[in-house]
Amino acid sequence: MNSMTKKRKPVNTIIFDFDGTIINTNLLIEEGLNYFALKYRGRYLTQKELSDLTGKTLEDQMAFIRKDKAELMIEQFRIWYNHNHDAKTSAFPGMVDLLKHLKMLGYRLALVSNNSRASIEQGLRHLGLKDVFEMIITRNDVKEVKPSPEGLIKVMAQLDVSPERCVYIGDTAGDMLAAKAAQIQSIMVGWTHLSQSQVFAIEPDWVLKVPNHLFMILDEYLLEENLVAG
Whether the per-residue pLDDT at 72 is higher than 70: the answer is yes
Query: Predicted confidence band at 190 (pLDDT cuts at 50, 70, 90)?
Result: very high
Q: Residue 24: name the closest of 75, 96, 73 by CA.
A: 96
Whether the per-residue pLDDT at 224 is higher than 80: the answer is no
What's the predicted TM-score (pTM) here?
0.89
> Up-side HSE of residue 37: CA atoms within 13 Å toward CB?
17
Contacts of 152 (CB under 8 A, 6+ apart): 15, 112, 166, 168, 178, 179, 182, 184
How confident is the model at residue 40, as a pLDDT? Answer: 97
Tens of pLDDT along 108-162? 999 999 999 999 999 999 999 999 999 999 999 999 999 999 999 999 999 999 9
Whether the per-residue pLDDT at 227 is higher than 60: the answer is no
Length of the chain measured in residues: 230
Q: What is the percent of the chain where pLDDT is above 70?
A: 92
Residue 199 · residue 207 · CB < 8 Å: yes
Whether the per-residue pLDDT at 70 is higher than 60: the answer is yes
218 vs 159: which has the higher pLDDT? 159
How confident is the model at residue 3, as a pLDDT? Answer: 36
Report the DSSP pairing between strands 135-137 and 4-7.
Answer: unpaired
Residue 100 · residue 43 · CB < 8 Å: no
How confident is the model at residue 230, as a pLDDT? Answer: 30
Tens of pLDDT along 22-62? 999 999 999 999 999 999 999 999 999 998 998 899 999 99
Helix H or strand E encompassing 76 = helix 70-88
